[in-house]
Amino acid sequence: MESHMLGYQYFMSSYRVPRHIETKITQWVRFQHTEQLGDSQKKAVLSDPTLPPEFRISLARSLRNDLFSQIPFLVNIPEAIRAKFTAELLLKATTCYFAAETIIGDSSEKANCLMIVQKGHVEMCQPIRDGGRVLQTLKRGDIFGDCHIVGDCRWAGSLGIDADFIAKSKCSILSISAGDIKRVICRFDFTLIRRRVEKGCYYWTVNQAESAIDDADEKQAGRSVMQRKIIYLWIGWTRRLLLLVDSASS
């Protein structure tokens, strides 16, 4: 660690970086380096081809702890299947690091991956246009962006709302892309999980279709009201015109 820090310390002292900025940078570099080292060691062990499958699954189960407990399509899945699935996801996962007050998920952008808080705290906030109020603080094991797998590309799609996700403190977040999740799910031994996701996709599609029909009905109702108003005004103006014609002829 100290050898890793030497370059930063030399650079900051050479350019006389203010002390408070130097402290923040030092804390961030130490945090990121420590987390990256741990994550690379986990991946190296899990991807070791000489490790027997049962040991690999047991190891994934112990590493997982509470990280995958809140993923909707893994709830009530048999432990053996879930542990094996978790091992595959861990190999596909990328760890992202965020400084405090960094936007992790922007409500104006589409969610394209599952995000799992691994370390630190993340605030779920209303979009700035709606006031930016903090709605909830996420901790280790909490997730967002999970509904993109069934077609809902909102970061807070599981809650049915638009929201921004902002790092409250230094955070490490596990990121797993939709493509990687789908490729893992398509394996034969994960049929139970795949069926659950397909059912979620079906219900989301049905809900979207029903919402579209409701919107169309509301628009049609709006048009009908407008048409009635136009007809009413036209009749009124016609009557006035007829009265003027009658009075002129008499």
pTM higher than the cut 0.85: no
Q: 192-228, pLDDT tens digit by residue?
A: 888 888 777 655 554 554 554 445 445 555 555 555 5
Q: What is the mean pLDDT of residues 96-101?
A: 93
* DSSP designation for 141: T
Residue 6 corresponds to which tokens in the numbers above? 């030497």
Which residue is associated with the tokens 């970061």?
155
158-178 b/e with 16+ CB inside 10 Å = b?
beeeebbbbbbebbbbbbbeb
CA distances from 214 to 29, 157, 179, 210, 228 (A): 52, 20, 32, 6, 21
Cβ-count burial of 97 within 10 angstroms (0-12 exposed, 13-18 middle, 19+ buried)?
buried
Average pLDDT across the chain, whole number? 79
Task: Give the model's pLDDT for residue 4.
Answer: 66
- What share of the chain in percent tops pLDDT 90? 26
Residue 122: per-residue pLDDT: 97
Q: What is d(CA 146, CA 71) in angstroms, rounded to the nearest whole number?
A: 7
Give residue-wise pLDDT tens across range 62-74: 766 567 878 877 8
| Residue 108 · residue 116 · CB < 8 Å | no
In sequence order, what are the beta bridge partners of 136?
124
